[in-house]
């Protein structure tokens, strides 16, 4: 860690990401103004991400519990996994594999499980539920599959905590964000805490295989997940867990396949930077809804995930968890678009309509 002098001390990781203490976030959120400005501002070195350290001791085991369940679910028989897929929501609830279009083709490198960890069924009108099934559907839980019997509770435990920290971070961000929001009366924390569109994504990145071959030494930076922007206001991220398959029992926790494996971010100045999230920390980055709500003054964070070439990469999977915090669909983001309209536009770019009942 390094400390940058200024009006207040700013702590940076070795890769240049701003790091703040959870204790300070809870006790004195407005004292973090300089750190928030450095993390999310327009400085060329700003990464658009902040690391939250010193989390309660319950966080680390909750993270490992759910990420191991991600591995276990993704290794069930395909016929079992597909019982929990939901075409009507464009696979935005339950299991999704090979449905999202990334880099112009179906993304088979990762499987995802989507749910709202703070609300099982939104309290909205039938009209809104029909118009926006991607957000206002019911959670789907694999409660009848013994291998993942703890799935629902583990998902809600971790997702609920990340949401709580995200709401606290939004309070710390308010003085900074209010000077950029097109509607200065908006409260970032209110937009997030009152929203019924919160969505978490539990991710399993499959090891390279004959269907998804092991990359060459010069494989693309975005070989595990293409460059993209989240369409949230803020996104909470857990540190990835790498697991090596063991035919005789539970997979073992290992280091990433290669020093080049992991999350990559483009700084505000355009430089590509690999960012590591320590296992006992959370990270939060800015999304495209915030960029729209500030008329482009606060930009979303472009990021991707790289496999990293290694001799045994075909035995190692990557598990992680992301929480997308965003407003309700009727929240106006710009003069021409509310969040629901914006989301439809993004969904149309990444998903096909496979059901006559799916809203497009």
* pLDDT, greater one: 227 or 214: 227
For the chain, the residue count is 360
pTM of the model: 0.90
Tell me how far apart the alpha carbons of residues 272 and 133 are, in angstroms, rounded to a whole number. 36
pLDDT of residue 7: 44
Confidence at 284, pLDDT banded by 50, 70, 90: very high
Q: What is the SS3 assignment for 145-173?
A: CHHHCCHHHHHHHHHHHHHHHHHHHHHHH
Inter-CA distances, 118 with 193, 231, 235, Å: 10, 19, 15
Confidence at 359, pLDDT banded by 50, 70, 90: very low
Confidence at 9, pLDDT banded by 50, 70, 90: confident
Between 54-63, 240-249, 253-262, 312-321, the lowest mean confidence (pLDDT) is in 253-262
Confidence at 353, pLDDT banded by 50, 70, 90: low
* pLDDT, greater one: 348 or 119: 119
Q: With contact defined as beta carbons under 8 Å apart, do 49 and 39 qualify?
A: yes
Decide if pLDDT at 351 tops 90: no
Confidence at 114, pLDDT banded by 50, 70, 90: very high
Q: Please identify which residue in the block is written with the tokens 């019997």.
A: 149
Confidence at 360, pLDDT banded by 50, 70, 90: very low
Confidence at 348, pLDDT banded by 50, 70, 90: confident
Q: What is the mean pLDDT of residues 61-83?
A: 97
* pLDDT, greater one: 19 or 316: 19
Locate the DSSP E strands across 13-152: 18-21, 49-53, 94-97, 101-102, 105-106, 110-115
Q: Which two tokens stand for residue 301?
A: 């964070």
Which residues, 6+ apart, have CB-to-CB distance to 359 below 8 Å?
130, 131, 132, 133, 134, 344
Q: With contact defined as beta carbons under 8 Å apart, do 262 and 307 qualify?
A: no
Tell me how far apart the alpha carbons of residues 56 and 281 are, in angstroms, rounded to a whole number. 10
pLDDT of residue 216: 53
pLDDT of residue 197: 97
* pLDDT, greater one: 21 or 246: 21
Task: Give the three-class secondary structure for 293.
Answer: helix
With a pLDDT cut of 90, the percent of the chain lying above it is 61
Confidence at 5, pLDDT banded by 50, 70, 90: very low
Tell me how far apart the alpha carbons of residues 134 and 105 are, in angstroms, rounded to a whole number. 21
pLDDT of residue 211: 67
Q: With contact defined as beta carbons under 8 Å apart, do 236 and 166 qualify?
A: yes
pLDDT of residue 356: 36
Tell me how far apart the alpha carbons of residues 112 and 289 are, in angstroms, rounded to a whole number. 22
* pLDDT, greater one: 166 or 217: 166
pLDDT of residue 157: 98
CATH class entry, domain 18-357: mainly beta
């Amino acid at each position: 860690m390094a400390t940058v002098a200024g009006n207040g001390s700013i702590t940076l990781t070795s890769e240049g990401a701003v790091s703040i203490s959870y204790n300070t976030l809870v006790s004195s959120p407005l004292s973090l103004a300089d750190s928030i400005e450095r993390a999310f501002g327009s400085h060329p070195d700003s990464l658009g991400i902040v690391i939250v350290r010193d989390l309660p001791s319950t966080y680390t085991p909750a993270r490992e519990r759910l990420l191991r369940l991600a591995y276990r679910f993704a290794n069930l028989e395909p016929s079992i996994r597909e019982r929990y897929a939901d075409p009507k929501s464009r696979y935005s609830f339950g299991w999704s594999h090979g449905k999202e279009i990334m880099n112009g083709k179906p993304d088979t490198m990762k499987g995802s499980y989507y749910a709202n960890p703070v609300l099982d069924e939104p309290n909205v009108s039938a009209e809104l539920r029909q118009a926006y099934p991607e957000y206002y559907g019911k959670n789907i839980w694999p409660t009848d599959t013994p291998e993942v019997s703890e799935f629902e509770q583990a998902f809600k435990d971790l997702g609920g905590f990340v949401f709580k920290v995200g709401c606290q971070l939004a309070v710390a961000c308010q003085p900074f964000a209010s000077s950029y929001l097109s509607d200065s009366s908006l409260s970032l924390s209110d937009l997030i805490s009152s929203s019924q569109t919160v969505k978490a994504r539990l991710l399993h990145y499959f090891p390279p295989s004959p269907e998804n071959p092991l990359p060459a030494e010069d494989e693309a930076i975005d070989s595990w997940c293409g460059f993209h922007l989240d369409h949230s206001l803020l996104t909470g991220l857990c540190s990835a867990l790498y697991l090596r398959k063991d035919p005789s029992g539970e997979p073992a926790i290992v280091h990433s396949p290669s020093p080049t494996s992991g999350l990559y971010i483009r700084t505000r100045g355009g430089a590509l930077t690999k960012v590591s999230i320590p296992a006992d920390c959370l990270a939060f980055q800015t999304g495209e809804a915030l960029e729209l709500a500030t008329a482009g003054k606060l930009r979303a964070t472009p990021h991707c995930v790289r496999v990293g070439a290694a001799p045994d990469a075909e035995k190692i999977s990557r598990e992680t968890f992301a929480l997308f915090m965003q407003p309700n669909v009727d929240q106006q983001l710009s003069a021409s678009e509310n969040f629901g309209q914006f989301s439809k536009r993004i969904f149309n770019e990444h998903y096909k309509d496979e059901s006559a009942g799916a809203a497009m």
